[in-house]
Every structure is written in C-alpha cells, then in structure tokens.
Amino acid sequence: MPPFNKVVSKKFISSVVKDGKTVAVSAATKTSTWTRDDDTAQKVGELLKDSLDSWSGRLPEGTEEICSRETEHKSDSDKRNHITAVCFNAKGQGKTIHVPVKKA
C-alpha cells in the first residue's frame, strides 16, 4: 500500500515549469477514502498551481505530475498553511510532499 491515500481518479488542471522541467498539475477527484466533485477539484488544483509558482522548494527527482490530494477545509478555524500533494514519476510511483500555500 502506498504511503498516502491512493489517488483513484484525478482532474488535469494545468502544466507548470518547476525546477526547469514541465510538470503536469492535477487534483484528485477520488482517493481510497473520499470523493469530490470536479468544481472543487478545479479550485484545489488552481490553488496548488498558484502555490507551486511561489514555492522555492524542489520536487522529488523524476516528478512528471503533481496531484493535490488535500481534503477540503470547510472551517475558517482550520486554516490551510500547506497543500498535501503526491509527486508521480513515469512509473506511477508517488511521494507525498507539502507545498506551502501562497499568501494573498
């Protein structure tokens, strides 16, 4: 079993250039523990894309796609300071990372 909720399905959001390489950005629509609609996935994915643009950290070697698997934060008391995402390589192997949320 992977060290993260298994991403069963996802929605492509965009591509970004990170660490000198073009990487696909997506958002999970279904994992092994939850499901979300496409509109919510789009919002979560756009937040990931914007946050990646301002993040100075590096992606794991061989990353071809980064997929947000962050659950929706419904309460203002549960402020989000990072996005939980999975970096997938060409073999579909993933590594969980945390991307700081871009500050407004």
28 falls within a domain:
yes
DSSP per-residue string spanning 33-72 = S-B--HHHHHHHHHHHHHHHHH----PPTT--EEEE-PPP
65 falls within a domain:
yes
2 falls within a domain:
no
74 falls within a domain:
yes
80 falls within a domain:
yes
Supply φ then ψ for residue 49, to 5 degrees.
Answer: -60, -50
Owning domain of residue 43: 7-100
State whether residue 14 is helix, strand or coil. strand
Q: How many domains does the chain have?
A: 1
pLDDT at 3 over 70: no
- The whole-number pLDDT of residue 15 equals 97
Question: What is the per-residue pLDDT across 22-65, written as a single tens digit (0 to 9) for each?
Answer: 999 999 999 988 899 999 999 999 999 999 999 999 999 999 99
1 falls within a domain:
no
- The whole-number pLDDT of residue 1 equals 47
Tokens of 85: 């995402």
Closest CA to 86 of 27, 9, 14: 27
60 falls within a domain:
yes
71 falls within a domain:
yes
